[in-house]
């Protein structure tokens, strides 16, 4: 008995570049809007931005 050729169905999803992209896990998505964590990130990002502003004004 000959083996039937195996069919590879290329799904619509596989045709799109998004299929090959990384995707966030549930924990990452949760942290993106988890209030206490985001309050900390708000402070941290602002701090980082202030450093960059300071460095960018060194020529002044």
Q: Of residues 4, 18, 26, 27, which one binds another protein by CB under 8 A?
A: 18
**Closer to another protein by Cβ: residue 2 or 11:** 11
Give the count of alpha carbons within 13 A of 10, CB side only.
Answer: 3
Contact (CB, 8 A) for 19 and 13:
yes
Identify the residue among 6, 8, 11, 23 touching another protein (CB under 8 A): 23
Name the minimum Å distance from CB 42 to another protein.
4
Rounded distance, CA 5 to CA 33, Å?
48
Q: Of the candidates 1, 9, 21, 27, which one interacts with another protein according to CB under 8 A?
A: 21
């Amino acid at each position: 008995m000959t083996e039937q050729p195996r069919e590879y169905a290329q799904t619509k999803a596989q045709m799109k570049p998004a299929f090959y992209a990384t995707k966030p896990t549930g924990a990452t998505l949760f942290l993106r809007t988890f209030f206490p964590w985001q309050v900390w990130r708000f402070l941290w990002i602002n701090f980082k931005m202030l450093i960059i502003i300071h460095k960018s004004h060194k020529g002044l």
